[in-house]
Every structure is written in structure tokens, then in C-alpha cells.
Structure 1
């Protein structure tokens, strides 16, 4: 069977990628490739390296060995020239750190909002605002107090069903039992034996 023919590895044209999604994917892959090359350089030569990259969206990424901060501090302590390059690099690093902290802050704020929203939904379910499906509350998302409240609701439901079934059974039994003290209809065919011995029983009954 003839194998599938391919074009082989093609050279990628070096020009700006127009689609934003494709541009971000390419940035992520190429950044990982740069980190890999730097790691190989460190492993082969023992060099101390530092790399600072800003994504198309302005998010900073840094890589360094033994660390980005150590390499930058060493560079600032021994600047190669006095043309202001060190100050510019320091400013870039400061902006990168501020960007990283701002990104982490935004992520934490989003997590806090998500947690607050989820907590309100669970609270509504536990308080009966969504009583039609409170039993579907995910147990792994409840704290100890909420689990205790959920258990009480299940016990209450079980007791209510038990009483309902009990009342239903009692009603069915009483509907077939004769009522005490109620007169029976006269039966003209009933034979009453006046001479029978009441102590020995009557054949008419």
C-alpha cells in the first residue's frame, strides 16, 4: 500500500501573523522554544542567562539561570557601558514585575468573585430559594455546616414520606373495617333459633 505523500517540512515565512488567536499560539510555542534553547546553553556551557519577553497582550514573561533576578542584579552591578542601557533594563524589569503582580492580582480578584458567586448560589439552595433541587447540591463543594443542614433536610424528607405512607396505609385499613356501633340492615332470611343454647353457640350465626 502506497504511503501518504506529504510536502515535508516547509519554511515558514517571517511576517506578522494577522489572526490574533494564531499569533498568541505562535508566541506561546516560540517562547517555549527560546526557553529550551537557553536551557541547552546553560547545560552545555554553564552560562548564566536572562530573558525578558512581553506577549502581544503586554504580559511579561521572564526566564533566567540561576534566576532572572540574580542575572539582572549582576548586570546592574557591572554595567558594560554608561550609555543608560542598565537603567533602561532596570526600568523594563520594574515594569515586568509590576505587570506580573497586576496579573496575579486580577486573577485573585476573579477567583474571589467566582468563589463569592458560587457561595451565594449554595446559600440560596440551602435556604430553600431553589428548594426544588436542593438535594442536587454538590457535597464536595459544601462545608461542614452546610453538610449538616443538608443531612437534616434529608432526614426531614424521610420522616415526612414515612408519615405519609403510614397515614395512607391507616386510611386504607379503616375503609375495609366495619364501623362499631352502626346498625346492620335486617336480613329476612336470617334464622334465629329461640331454642338454642347461648352458652354452646348458635347455628344461626
Structure 2
């Protein structure tokens, strides 16, 4: 029975075969970047890796960014705080906040205008509310409403006699008794006019 070889130890020296070299570079680079990312996440360390391939291609990985770590290493510019939010996201949020503030201000102006309008209407209201009226005042109100109703009926019947359609369509159903009364009064009117002759 054969024993499995498992992983073979390879000699650490430059690989001569170009195809094998390229494959090993890709695999090892991905593993290296993964380990650097894990180190940064687990330990909170700032990590940067820069690799040049034999064909002079640059591969870099870093947290929070390669540039900030290199600047810190060189000592030129202090790195920005890693907890600072992305400026693009901040600008987008500010634009949304500005838009919402404009809408809120518009609604507040409309509300204030309506509130003033309501106060003006309330100031114009001279009659007391129905709940506060005495029995005598309620009788007067009832009589004035009945008088107004009679005036409306008289105007409506005059318009209908002239063949003019009543302008208020919503009261059309309320005029049905008027038409019935009108037809009966015209019949009785004919009889009275006939008897008067």
C-alpha cells in the first residue's frame, strides 16, 4: 500500500518555468492579501502590501488605504482618521438632508399660512356657536333658516318657470318636491282661474 505524499516541501528558490512562476505568483499573492486583510480585521492593524511582478505590474492591498499607510511610514502626511466617513457618502447625505429641509420649510410655511387663515376666519365669526344659544335664540335662528329656505324655493320656482335650469346641481334632488307642488298648484291655479272667469 502506498502512503499519500501530502504537501511536498518545495525548495525556496526562483522558479525557472515562466508558466509555473505566473501561477505561483497569482496564488501566493491572493493568499498574502487575504492574510493581510485578516490581520487588519482581527487586530485593528494598519496593513499595506505592495508587490511588483517580474513583468513590472504593481499589486497593492492595504487598510485603510495603501497611500495613507505609505505616507505614515514615510512621515510626510499624517493618515486620515479611519473612523471618518466617506466624503462621497457625506455629500450624498447632506444633499438628501438639504432636500428634506426644503420640503419641511415649505410645509411649515403652508401650515402657518393656514393657521393664520383659520384665525382670521374665527375672528370674522360673529354669531355664537349653536351649543351656546339659548332657547329664544334657537327659535330666531330656526325662523331665519325657514325664511331663507322659502326665498330659495321662490327663486328656484321662478327660474324653473322661465325655463332656466337651476344653477346648483347638488340641490336638484331637493327640488323634486317643488316640481310636485308646482304641478299641483298649476292644476289648482287653472281651476281657480277658470272659476274666476
Which of structures 1 and 2 has the bigger CA Rg? 2
TM range (shorter): 0.3 to 0.5
Task: Tell me which of the two structures has the higher relative contact order, counting C-alpha pairs closer than 8 angstroms and 6 or more residues apart.
Answer: 1
**TM-score, normalised by the number of residues in structure 1:** 0.35
**TM-score, normalised by the number of residues in structure 2:** 0.36
Question: Which has a greater percent of helix?
Answer: 2
